[in-house]
Amino acid sequence: MLKPEHQYSVYTLSNKKNGTLYIGMTNNLKRRIFEHKNKLIEGFSKKYNLNILVYFEVYQYVNDAILREKRLKNWNRQWKINLIEEDNLDWNDYH
């Protein structure tokens, strides 16, 4: 019997263009962004009002998503901004 395919997302939130950045990983992007937008998650994203989905990537395998999240978190700020602005110059909310 085949297992259903999973989908994992690595995402970046902000509070405004060139604002504070948060990088996370989830197996349900729609639910996770809902949680962020409604401040249901205690911590960094709630404290800094990070609720604009400015970037995301999708992976089939959880280990790939975890590795990408860790790598992005280690990038310098300008590299993260450049990655966002490759496809989202105006920092529009993708959600």
Q: What is the pLDDT of residues 19-74, one digit of tens each?
A: 999 999 999 999 999 999 999 989 999 999 999 999 999 999 999 999 999 999 99
CA nearest neighbour of 24 among 61, 60, 55? 55
DSSP conformational letter for 2: P
Provide the token pair at 7: 């989908």
What domains can you pick out in the chain, each with its CATH number? 8-87 (3.40.1440.10)
